[in-house]
Structure 1
């Protein structure tokens, strides 16, 4: 079963919402707390981390709910519309402070809003990821489907990574930025809802299936657990890198404007190298492609630790961006293969639950990155409140958190990838 180009494009539009929500909090929420609201760096790191921990418990629940939902439009699409629009509204609310005028009060506002955003995002992202296993059962067609999705994801990251800081620095500040990103999230939600109207309607989990039994099935799938562990560890590294872009530009390079070319260099290659990664996957398999992307990412971002001249720095970040595209395409196209294998083995629909566990891990990983970066800033003696002249320890922490920590976290999973296989990967 293959999908049409129209459905492929419609499905990809959902990544405008997922990319926006995954990028902006990781990029600007920590600076918003430390420099705009004067929240101490260590506390800010905790505030960024704790709301995402809610997803660990809630995302699998959201997946089970979407698995068991019955609707004439299918179990997934209604969640995409409702969850996406709710996320857009709550995202704008998150960047309204200062409201109370105190670091404690405004920090609490952000934390509570972040929890609400994470809840709405779960009801959007989990059904969205689950659809990939249900739109097509063709091994290589899934790679094409995910490649379109990652290309749209790159567009969202590029728009948010380059545009959000510019809006933040305009007269409208963080509030204008929050409204603009909320509009992009709403556009993505409406786009995927309308664009997948002709997509196949997913099956529904039998009513007798119980949540503990489904969790036991997840634990019994070694390929899923291995792939999830690798993806989460790498997400922490990517989240740490994204959190460091703003600090590297302002404090180390003394050029806030450098944030835009650095972010563009990281994301833009994904729009160009998708055909390359597709050919790699078709010729050598998804697993080997994933391994190659992992090595390239670790080596290129580690070299940034030497803080080379700007043109070399941009080149290294661009190579990292090429690898980042592979780190997205291959694991996310291997996931539906593993889900299909598990569903064939068990005879039950588990796309929602598996996707819920997956997105919980991804969300937690991307949240742990900024949280870890906040800890590194605190250890380095970073002074909150928008102070320009930072101690040397803070500068070292900024560079290490942007380069060496992501390199280690991405590269350390390489041995795990030898144990990952799914439909089409065996033999």
Structure 2
């Protein structure tokens, strides 16, 4: 028998999802968006310019905990599938992550002592544990859209709600977190207060989502698979891995820009407070743009819209270079607004294609394993988010950036200013352009593999 409706075909016997259920699922992304954005935006700057940690060591502190997550996420994904087979739900891991992540997030920004070395060690351990807690929530949470409905149009609706909530979370992170630091006077005390307040926001969002998604019946199976068997089964889904490659490159580009934003605001625009304004301009347009991109994707196809958004994002990023070099704040903010419209498409279309890739693969293998796929996806995404600040830290180290204590700022050499400008603009643009051939390859492979296996499944039924 066929494993389920083909992508694009509506099962009329299944009722549409109500707004309450869509909101209950989507609100979790407020918390995941906050955690994804705040460390990428502020943690490197916190290490180098508040704790006085060198750029090279700070890069290691950021990369190592996330490198562990790259290993952990597929394990969590396979464990989530086994839980789903045995219980029909993914609640246990979701709840474990929701309870522990907020506390560990606050600990990341509460480094004790005055010496850079123990402070760096504290942040590294807290970040490692927080990233592990995040994996426990994020992996099963991302698996739920493939199971939330058998109707592709309803899965698409769920992703639209999720991306709007994710954007809201990122907006809260980028707008409120730096503002809270400034409100509390900056320095260690400012970051500690921000960690507690934002941690409470994360807790409220994640726990609400756990309670609100208990109704989703997980359909993993027909039998539980170990990690190796799950990954072996998933490996044959070539379109998924091509899509994953494109998404990872794009995530890396955005992560590099997030890490560079406080430096660009401080040293190129002469106002750290503009970090929040830049972030709001980048993320704010995503909220109204998501429904627009959803309609355009239904009319013209997701991949053409995806490619256009990536290309325009890259062009706008290049245009930021002369604006930053001139210290022109208004053009920089305007360009960030344009990038925000494109960022909405990148988020929406990548995450919308993910559950369809997972759902279609069950027709190929006869085995539904959303957790395994999302474990691989979130592992790669987590790695890219971790590598981004590390890459920017490497740019700073190579261009002779001088670390500073919050109370004793230093003047940066011209090489460092040039390096951080290029690292914030030209490097992300190059990465974005590299992802376009992969998107075009995904369209070709998906049309061949998914359609062929769906036709085979219908014939067998």
Match of 2:169 in 1: 156
How far apart are 1:411 and its partner, in Å? 1.5
Change (3 A) 1:71 1:101: farther
Residues 144 and 278 in structure 1, CA contact (< 8 A), matched pair in contact too = no
Residues 341 and 423 in structure 1, CA contact (< 8 A), matched pair in contact too = no
Match of 2:195 in 1: 178
Match of 2:456 in 1: none
Q: Output the aligned Cα RMSD.
A: 1.9
**TM-score, scaled relative to structure 1:** 0.95
The structure 2 residue matched to 1:196, chosen from 202, 213, 229, is: 213
Match of 1:287 in 2: 303
The structure 2 residue matched to 1:225, chosen from 241, 259, 282, is: 241
Change (3 A) 1:423 1:126: farther
Gaps of 5+ in 2: 1-13, 453-461
Match of 2:8 in 1: none
How far apart are 1:141 and its partner, in Å? 2.7
Tell me the distance in 2 between the aligned counterparts of 1:56 and 1:298.
27
Tell me the distance in 2 between the aligned counterparts of 1:212 and 1:72.
19
The structure 1 residue matched to 2:44, chosen from 9, 18, 30, is: 30
Change (3 A) 1:208 1:369: closer
How far apart are 1:420 and its partner, in Å? 1.4
1:337 equivalent to 2:334? Answer no
The structure 1 residue matched to 2:34, chosen from 20, 27, 39, is: 20
**Greater Cα offset, 75-84 or 27-36:** 75-84
How far apart are 1:264 and its partner, in Å? 0.6
Tell me the distance in 2 between the aligned counterparts of 1:323 and 1:392.
32
Query: Where has structure 1 moved over 3 Å in runs of 4 or more?
Result: 70-74, 421-427
The structure 2 residue matched to 1:311, chosen from 312, 330, 334, is: 330
1:403 equivalent to 2:425? Answer yes
Tell me the distance in 1 between the aligned counterparts of 2:28 and 2:151.
21
Match of 1:124 in 2: 137
SS of 2:403's partner is coil
1:349 equivalent to 2:392? Answer no
Residues 85 and 185 in structure 1, CA contact (< 8 A), matched pair in contact too = no
**TM-score, scaled relative to structure 2:** 0.88
How far apart are 1:213 and its partner, in Å? 2.2
Q: Give CA-to-partner distance per residue, 1:247-273, whole Å, 9 cap, x none.
A: 011111111221121111000001111
Gaps of 5+ in 1: none
How far apart are 1:131 and its partner, in Å? 0.2
Tell me the distance in 1 between the aligned counterparts of 2:126 and 2:193.
17
Alignment of 1:198-217 (within 5 A): 198=215, 200-207=216-223, 209-217=225-233
SS of 1:389's partner is coil
The structure 2 residue matched to 1:419, chosen from 428, 441, 447, is: 441
Tell me the distance in 2 between the aligned counterparts of 1:257 and 1:90.
26
Change (3 A) 1:62 1:250: same
Tell me the distance in 1 between the aligned counterparts of 2:423 and 2:197.
29
Residues 85 and 220 in structure 2, CA contact (< 8 A), matched pair in contact too = no
**Greater Cα offset, 201-210 or 289-298:** 201-210
How far apart are 1:49 and its partner, in Å? 0.7
Tell me the distance in 2 between the aligned counterparts of 1:357 and 1:264.
30
Q: Give CA-to-partner distance per residue, 1:194-234, whole Å, 9 cap, x none.
A: 22233x31124344533222212222111011011111111
Tell me the distance in 2 between the aligned counterparts of 1:411 and 1:183.
38
SS of 1:383's partner is coil
Tell me the distance in 2 between the aligned counterparts of 1:39 and 1:143.
44
Match of 2:282 in 1: 266
1:255 equivalent to 2:274? Answer no
SS of 2:177's partner is helix
Residues 75 and 204 in structure 1, CA contact (< 8 A), matched pair in contact too = no
Alignment of 1:228-239 (within 5 A): 228-239=244-255
Match of 1:105 in 2: 118
Alignment of 1:56-71 (within 5 A): 56-69=70-83
Tell me the distance in 2 between the aligned counterparts of 1:72 and 1:417.
36
How far apart are 1:290 and its partner, in Å? 1.2
Tell me the distance in 1 between the aligned counterparts of 2:54 and 2:310.
34
SS of 2:110's partner is coil
Tell me the distance in 1 between the aligned counterparts of 2:441 and 2:85.
38
The structure 1 residue matched to 2:61, chosen from 47, 63, 67, is: 47
SS of 2:214's partner is coil
Residues 139 and 423 in structure 1, CA contact (< 8 A), matched pair in contact too = no
SS of 2:367's partner is coil
Residues 253 and 429 in structure 2, CA contact (< 8 A), matched pair in contact too = yes
1:80 equivalent to 2:79? Answer no
Residues 133 and 340 in structure 1, CA contact (< 8 A), matched pair in contact too = yes
